[in-house]
Amino acid sequence: MTPKKPITEQDMALVRSMVIHEDNSIIVLNKPAGLSSQGARGGVNALEDLLAVFARSNGKRPHLVHRLDRDTSGVIMAAKTKPAAAFLGKHIAARRVRKSYLAIVAPGAPSPSQGVVDVALRRVEQGREVFMRACESDHPDAQSALSRYRTLSATDEAALAELSPHTGRMHQLRVHMAHLGRPIVGDARYGGALVLGGVPVPRLMLHAWALSFPHPDGGEKRIEAGPPADFLGVASSAQLDISV
């Protein structure tokens, strides 16, 4: 895969600054919001393109084994070899790779404060845009989807929640929280608040906090990345305790 445009020294510095773990089989990065994982529009490079920076002398380079939405920050993993990619792909399919996200939702905490959302989703296309909608499980286009959530901190205005998807549907956590009446703050597509504590919300307040997985070289691995400054700022404006 050839990058959409030449990779600059600034690009190289950026993608190298994202690395939070690297070994012989994998590379794990802390992706900033605003960077597409794959398939970026407008002739710009996505993270998958920027991984060319880590190419070996034979031209082989890491490839992402999962994705994050463009405006979601946090932990994302790439495999450095074909055997590692096959190993991780198998465990992702078997749902042995566990993902934990932090989200700021509003208004207030979900009720109950923790639980499971087992609500099917279906894909809806509107022009060039694609949305997911909650639907009955017997809908002809239904895709099963299950998410777990728990409230970590809450005020009357907003809440900090830990979200854990059991399945991996597009926009799953965003639609499931909207289904609970607590859409993720900054999520204009699914009804999230765009102002919180009197402060404009800069983007979708969803951060991939931790990834736990069987490692291709044996054993289990857990890798975490704390939320970035914009997320912390919104949490502070909403008087939420972010000390998870």
Tens of pLDDT, residue by residue over 27-66, are 999 999 999 998 767 678 899 999 999 998 888 999 999 9
Angle (nearest 5°) at CA 55 between 36 and 64: 35
Nearest to 226 by CA among 88, 10, 30: 30
Per-residue pLDDT, 194 = 97
Per-residue pLDDT, 40 = 66
100 secondary structure, DSSP code: E
Per-residue pLDDT, 4 = 62
CATH classification (class only), 9-237: alpha beta
Per-residue pLDDT, 149 = 98
Respond yes or no: is residue 49 known to be catalytic. no
Domain boundaries of the chain, sorted by first residue: 9-237
Catalytic-role residue among 49, 69, 71, 187: 69
Number of H helices, E strands in the chain: 5, 14
Per-residue pLDDT, 225 = 97
Positions of the chain with pLDDT under 50:
none
